[in-house]
Structure 1
Amino acid sequence: MQITDKTVAEFHYTLTNDNKEVIDSSREREPMRYLHGASTIVAGLEEEMEGKQPGDTFQVAVTPENGYGERVEQLVQTVPRSAFEGVDEVAPGMRFRAETQQGPVTVMVTEVGDEEVTVDGNHPLAGENLNFDVEVVSVRKATPEEIEHGHPHNDDGSHPDD
C-alpha cells in the first residue's frame, strides 16, 4: 500500500542540519506514526512521503519555507522579570506559554537578567534546512475515528496520550 491521503504511515528518520549534526532520530525507539494529509509533520517531508510504501528509503532536504519557517526577529522580545511572577527560577532553555494578541505562543527563555528576561517565540528549528533520512516501515488505511480526530491511534485503538 502506498502513502496517500487518509493513510497512517510509520517511518524511521534521522534529522540532521546542514553541518551533518544529528538533531533527532527515531532509530533507537518506536517509528514515528502520522496521518497523511493531516499536516501533523512538516509540509516538505509530508510532500515527499506521498506515494512511498513500506521498505522505501530516501533522503529529503526541507527548506525553512516548507519546514518551521524563517526566523522572525520580532518574536525575540525582552520582558520585565515580573512577567514570571510565581516562578521560583527562570533560566535559559526554559519554555513558557505566553498570551499574546494573536493568541497563545510558546516561548523559550534565552537570557535572564536581574530586571529583564529575553524570550524567543520562534520554533527552535526556524530558519534551518532540515535534512531527513527516512525509511518507511508500514502503511495502512486510517480508521474513520482517526480521520475524524486528525491523528493516528495506537494499535489497540486508544489515543496516543492515554
Structure 2
Amino acid sequence: MKISKDRVVQLKYSAFEKEVPGQGKALEMHDMVFYLHGGHGGVFAKVEETLEGHVAGDKIELSLTPEEGYGERDESMMIAAPAEEFPPQAQEIGAGLEAHGPDGEVVSFVVTRIENGMITVDGNHGLAGKDLNLRLEVVSVREASEQELKVGDALPTADAANQNTMH
C-alpha cells in the first residue's frame, strides 16, 4: 500500500546535524512514530511531501532547514529569573518544566543554567535553529479508521482506532 492522503504511516527516524555527514551521533531517534498523512500536521510538510507514494520497507534520506523543521531559535524563549521563583525540581540543569503560554497552550522548558542565584530556562525545541539530515524508514502503511479521520490524528493500533467510547 502506498502512502497517500488519509493513510496512517508508521515510521522509524533519526535526525543528525547536517554538518555531521551521516557519521555523527543521532540527535534524536524514534522507533515508532505514527501520523495521519495528508496535511493533518503530524509531520513536517517537507517530510510528508517526500514520503508521498512510498511503501513499507522504503528508506529515505532528506535534509531540513530550520524553517522546514523546528524553526529558528527564539531568544525570547530563554528566560532567567531568581531561583526562588522556580519549583524545587528546577534546581538541576536539564530538568524539564511546563508552563502555560499567553494563549493557554502548554510550553515545555529545560533548565540550561544555574548561577549566582538565577535559573535560566529554554523553551526552544532542542533541534531549533539546526540544519538537519533525516533518515526515515517506512514501517507500515494502512487505511485510517473512521475515528482517526474524525480526530485528524493517528492512533497507534488498529484496535485502538476502532474502539468505541461511551460517556
The interval holding the TM-score normalised by the smaller chain is 0.7 to 0.9
Higher mean C-alpha displacement, 48-57 vs 119-128: 48-57
TM-score by length of 2: 0.81
Which amino acid is 1:101 matched to?
P
CA distance in 2, matches of 1:13, 1:147: 24
Q: Quick one: structure 1 residues 147 and 126, their matched pair in 2 at CA, closer, same or farther if it must change by over 3 Å?
A: same
* TM value normalised by structure 1: 0.84
Residues 89 and 143 (structure 1), Cα distance of their counterparts in 2 relative to 1, 3 Å cut = closer
Contact residue 57 and residue 136 of structure 1 kept, 8 A: yes
Give the unaligned 5+ runs of structure 2.
162-167
State the one-letter code of the partner of 1:10: Q
- For the 8 Å contact 2:90–2:97, the answer to whether it is kept is no
Paired-residue identity, %: 34
Partner residue in 1 for 2:34: 33
Distance change >3 Å, CA 138–CA 108, structure 1 → 2: same
State the Cα distance separating 1:105 from its structure 2 match. Answer: 1.5
Please, which runs of 5 or more residues in structure 1 have no aligned partner? none
> Which residue number corresponds to residue 23 of structure 1?
27
Paired residue secondary structure (1:126): coil
Do 1:9 and 1:35's aligned partners in 2 also have CA atoms closer than 8 Å?
A: yes
Structure 2 counterparts to residues 78-117 of structure 1, below 5 A: 78-85=80-87, 87=88, 90-103=91-104, 104-117=106-119
Shift in Å at residue 88 of structure 1?
5.2
What is the CA distance between 1:156 and its match in structure 2? 4.8
Count of residue pairs brought into register by the alignment = 155
In the TM superposition, what is the alpha-carbon distance from 1:62 to its structure 2 partner?
Answer: 1.1
Contact 1:81–1:114 (Cα < 8 Å) also in 2: no
- Greater shift after overlay, 146-155 or 133-142? 146-155
8 Å contact 2:12–2:139 — kept in the other structure?
Answer: yes
Matched, 1:121 2:91: no
